[in-house]
C-alpha cells in the first residue's frame, strides 16, 4: 500500500513538471518590481501577442533619457542586424572625429603653364570625398578656367581619386543592390544628380511618347554622355498596363529601359548607380569645359596628381552639420560610407573601410558601447552581417546627449508625421494623427527581413525616453513599421 502511494505521488509530481508551461528565452527581461508597471504590461502584451512578430526576433530597449536606466527590455542584449540604425553610430562618430564644421573639398590642379589662351600641361581634378558635387559645380570650375583666359588645354584632364582606396563596395553588399543609388560605388571623386546628394548615381526618367507605339521619352539628370541608354520600351494605349523596367548591366554604364508605358501616364523614375564614379565626375567636367568653349587635346584618364602643383580652383562642400540633414533624414547610404572612409583617412591616413571602422569602434568605446557584443562591417547598415544589440544602441543614444554637438545630431533625426521632407524625413508619413506625431525623433532602418527604429520620444508627462526597436527575421520587413509605430505610440502616451 505504501509503495503504491509513493508511486502515485511520484507520477503526479512528474506530470506536474512535464506540464509546467515553458518560459521562452525571449520573455521580456524586466525585474520583478516592474511587472506591474503599466508601460511594461502594454509592451509585453504587444510584443508577445502581435501575430506580425510570429517567428521573428524583437530586440527592444527603452531607457530614461535623464538617468539612462533601462525601464524596459526584450532580448535587448541579443545581437541583431540594425539596418540603417547603423547610421546612428556613424553620424555620432563623424561629429566627434571630424567636427560639425568639417567640409570636404575638390581641387582643380595644374602642373603646366599658361601661355596666352593655351594651358600647356595636364589639369588634375582631385577629389577629397565630397558627396555633394553636382553638375553646376563642374560648370563653375569650367567658368573659373575660362575667366583665367584658358581656351585650350594642351594636355590631359586627369581624375585623381587617390584620397581613398580603390575598393568601391563594402564587402557584404549583395549583387542586386549595386546598380541602384543605395548601393552606389564609393570614391573620393564622385557626383550627385540633385540636392538629395545620392552620390555616384543618375536619375533616369521615362515619359510616354506622343502616340501609341512610339518609344518613350528618356531624360537623364544630370544630362551626360557617360551612361548609354538602350530604349527598348514602348508607348501603349491609355488603358493598358504600365510596366517599366530600368536596369544597368553589371560592369558597364549601359542602362536598358524595357516594358510599356501608357499614353499620358505619370512618368517612371529610377536612381541608377553608375559604374566607376571617378570617371563619371571627370566626364561631367569634360562636358562643362566643352560648354564653355575649352578644348582638351589629350582626353581624360584616371591618375594621381604630382605633389608640386598649382591650385587653379577649389570647391568646398557645406559643413558636416548641414550635410547631416540629407544624410540622416533621407537615410543616405553613400554619405555613411564616405564618412567611414573619411574618418579613416583623417585619423589613420588610410581612406578605407577597415581604417574607418577601427576609428568608429574607438569612438564607441568612449561612449561605453560594448565592443564584445557588436560586429561592425559598414557605415550604412546595408550589410546583413553587421550586428548590434538594442541595449547598445540606447546606450549610445543616452551617452551622446552629453556631447557639445548633440543638438546637431538630434536635429538630423526624422520627426514622426512632420510633412516637410527635410524635417519629417523617412518618418514624415508615419504615426500621423497619433500621440506620437511630432514627438518621436528617430532613425529608421530597413533591409530584407529587417526593420528598425531608434531614437528619442517625448511622452505626455513631459518625460523623454531613449528607445531602440530592432526587428529581425520578418517575412515582410515592411510590416515591422507597424510594430515600431505601435511601440513608439505607447511610449508617447505615457
Cα separation, 404 vs 388, whole angstroms: 25
Cα separation, 72 vs 158, whole angstroms: 57
On the question of pLDDT at 78 being above 50, the answer is: yes
Same domain as 414, residue 287: no
Per-residue model confidence as pLDDT tens digits over 58-75: 999 999 999 999 999 999
Q: Which of the four pLDDT bands, split at 50, 70 and 90, describes residue 23?
A: very low
Cα separation, 269 vs 194, whole angstroms: 13
Last residue of a domain, one of 317, 348, 375: 317
On the question of pLDDT at 289 being above 70, the answer is: yes
Concatenated DSSP letters of 239-302: TSPPEEEEEEPTTS-EEEEEEEEETTPPPEEEEEEPS-HHHHHHHHHHHHHHHTT-EESS-EEE
Same domain as 61, residue 77: yes
On the question of pLDDT at 208 being above 50, the answer is: yes
In a domain, 82, yes or no: yes
In a domain, 14, yes or no: no
Per-residue model confidence as pLDDT tens digits over 217-262: 999 999 999 999 999 999 999 999 999 999 999 999 999 999 999 9
Same domain as 152, residue 64: no
Q: Tell me if 287 sits within 8 A of 224, measured CB to CB.
A: yes
Last residue of a domain, one of 264, 289, 317: 317
**Average pLDDT over the chain, rounded to an integer:** 93
Higher-scoring residue by pLDDT: 430, 22: 430
Domain count, the chain: 3
Same domain as 306, residue 257: no
In a domain, 5, yes or no: no
On the question of pLDDT at 10 being above 80, the answer is: no
Residue-level pLDDT at 36: 39
In a domain, 19, yes or no: no
Mean pLDDT across 24-37: 45
Torsion of CA 438, 442, 443, 445, to 10 degrees: -90
| 331 is a catalytic site residue | yes
Q: What burial class does residue 362 get, using C-beta atoms within 10 Å of its C-beta: 0-12 exposed, 13-18 middle, 19+ buried?
A: middle
CA distances from 304 to 64, 158, 163, 308 (A): 52, 8, 10, 12
Question: Considering 331, 383, 446, 451, which one is annotated as catalytic?
Answer: 331
CA distances from 422 to 133, 191, 407, 437, 463 (A): 19, 21, 16, 16, 26
CATH number of residue 376's parent domain: 3.40.710.10
Cα separation, 294 vs 145, whole angstroms: 8
| 242 is a catalytic site residue | no
Same domain as 294, residue 333: no
Last residue of a domain, one of 293, 317, 341: 317
At 256, list the grid cell. Answer: 536598358
Same domain as 341, residue 225: no
In a domain, 198, yes or no: no
In a domain, 390, yes or no: yes
Cα separation, 312 vs 194, whole angstroms: 26
Give the Cβ contact number of residue 28 at 10 Å. Answer: 19
Q: Which of the four pLDDT bands, split at 50, 70 and 90, describes residue 204?
A: very high
Per-residue model confidence as pLDDT tens digits over 332-373: 999 999 999 999 999 999 999 999 999 999 999 999 999 999
CATH number of residue 289's parent domain: 3.50.80.20
Residue-level pLDDT at 485: 98
Q: Which of the four pLDDT bands, split at 50, 70 and 90, describes residue 176?
A: confident
139 is in which domain, residue-wise?
105-168+277-317
Q: Tell me if 494 sits within 8 A of 488, measured CB to CB.
A: no
Same domain as 372, residue 300: no
Same domain as 113, residue 64: no
Same domain as 327, residue 310: no
Same domain as 300, residue 234: no
**Residue 24 in 3-state DSSP?**
coil
Lowest mean pLDDT segment, chosen from 2-16, 211-225, 312-326:
2-16
Q: Which of 96, 118, 276, 102 is nearest to 188 (CA)?
A: 276
Per-residue model confidence as pLDDT tens digits over 111-127: 889 999 999 999 999 99
Q: Specify the residue for cell string 493598358.
A: 240
- In the chain, what percentage of residues exceed pLDDT 90? 90
**Residue 349 in 3-state DSSP?**
coil
In a domain, 347, yes or no: yes
Same domain as 213, residue 113: no
Residue 420 DSSP one-character state: S
Same domain as 285, residue 145: yes
| 162 is a catalytic site residue | no
In a domain, 182, yes or no: no
Parallel, antiparallel, or unpaired for β 464-472 and 57-64?
antiparallel
Amino acid at each position: 500500500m505504501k509503495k503504491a502511494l509513493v508511486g502515485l505521488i511520484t507520477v503526479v509530481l512528474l506530470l506536474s513538471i512535464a506540464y509546467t508551461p515553458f518560459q521562452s528565452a525571449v520573455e521580456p527581461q524586466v525585474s520583478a518590481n516592474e511587472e506591474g508597471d503599466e508601460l511594461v504590461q502594454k509592451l509585453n502584451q504587444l510584443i508577445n501577442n502581435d501575430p506580425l512578430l510570429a517567428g521573428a526576433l524583437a530586440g527592444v530597449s527603452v531607457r530614461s533619457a535623464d538617468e539612462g536606466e533601462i525601464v524596459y527590455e526584450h532580448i535587448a542584449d541579443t545581437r541583431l542586424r540594425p539596418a540603417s540604425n547603423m547610421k546612428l553610430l556613424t553620424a555620432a562618430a563623424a561629429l566627434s572625429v571630424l567636427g560639425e564644421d568639417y567640409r570636404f573639398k575638390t581641387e582643380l590642379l595644374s602642373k603646366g603653364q599658361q601661355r596666352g589662351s593655351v594651358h600647356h600641361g595636364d589639369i588634375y581634378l582631385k577629389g577629397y570625398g565630397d558627396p555633394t558635387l553636382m553638375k553646376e559645380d563642374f560648370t563653375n570650375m569650367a567658368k573659373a578656367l575660362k575667366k583665367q583666359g584658358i581656351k585650350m588645354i594642351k594636355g590631359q584632364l586627369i581624375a585623381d581619386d587617390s584620397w581613398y582606396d580603390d575598393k568601391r563596395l563594402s564587402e557584404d553588399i549583395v549583387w542586386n543592390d549595386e546598380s541602384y543609388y543605395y548601393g552606389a560605388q564609393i570614391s573620393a571623386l564622385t557626383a550627385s544628380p540633385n540636392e538629395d546628394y545620392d552620390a555616384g548615381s543618375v536619375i533616369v526618367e521615362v515619359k510616354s511618347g506622343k502616340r501609341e507605339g512610339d518609344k518613350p521619352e528618356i531624360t537623364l539628370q544630370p544630362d551626360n554622355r557617360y551612361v548609354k541608354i538602350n530604349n527598348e520600351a514602348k508607348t501603349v494605349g491609355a488603358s493598358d498596363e504600365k510596366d517599366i523596367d530600368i536596369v544597368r548591366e553589371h560592369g558597364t554604364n549601359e542602362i536598358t529601359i524595357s516594358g510599356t508605358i501608357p499614353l499620358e501616364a505619370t512618368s517612371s523614375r529610377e536612381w541608377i548607380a553608375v559604374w566607376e564614379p571617378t570617371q563619371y565626375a571627370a566626364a561631367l567636367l569634360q562636358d562643362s569645359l566643352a560648354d564653355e568653349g575649352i578644348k582638351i587635346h589629350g582626353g581624360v584618364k584616371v591618375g594621381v596628381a604630382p605633389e608640386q602643383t598649382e591650385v587653379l580652383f577649389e570647391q568646398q562642400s557645406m559643413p558636416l552639420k548641414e550635410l547631416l540633414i540629407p544624410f540622416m533624414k533621407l537615410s543616405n547610404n553613400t554619405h555613411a560610407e564616405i564618412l567611414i572612409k573619411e574618418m579613416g583617412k583623417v585619423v589613420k591616413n588610410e581612406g578605407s573601410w577597415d581604417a574607418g571602422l577601427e576609428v568608429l569602434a574607438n569612438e564607441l568605446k568612449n561612449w561605453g558601447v560594448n565592443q564584445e557584443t557588436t560586429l561592425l562591417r559598414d557605415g550604412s547598415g546595408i550589410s546583413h552581417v553587421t550586428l548590434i544589440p538594442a541595449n547598445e544602441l540606447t546606450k549610445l543614444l543616452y551617452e551622446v546627449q552629453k556631447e557639445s554637438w548633440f543638438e546637431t545630431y538630434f536635429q538630423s533625426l526624422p520627426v514622426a508625421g512632420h510633412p516637410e521632407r527635410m524635417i519629417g524625413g523617412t518618418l514624415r508619413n508615419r504615426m500621423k494623427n497619433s500621440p506620437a506625431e511630432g514627438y518621436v525623433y528617430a532613425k529608421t532602418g530597413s533591409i530584407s527581413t529587417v526593420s528598425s527604429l531608434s531614437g528619442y520620444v517625448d511622452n505626455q508627462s513631459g518625460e523623454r525616453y531613449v528607445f531602440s526597436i530592432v526587428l529581425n527575421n520578418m517575412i515582410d520587413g515592411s510590416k515591422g513599421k507597424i510594430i515600431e509605430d505601435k511601440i513608439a505610440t505607447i511610449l508617447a502616451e505615457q
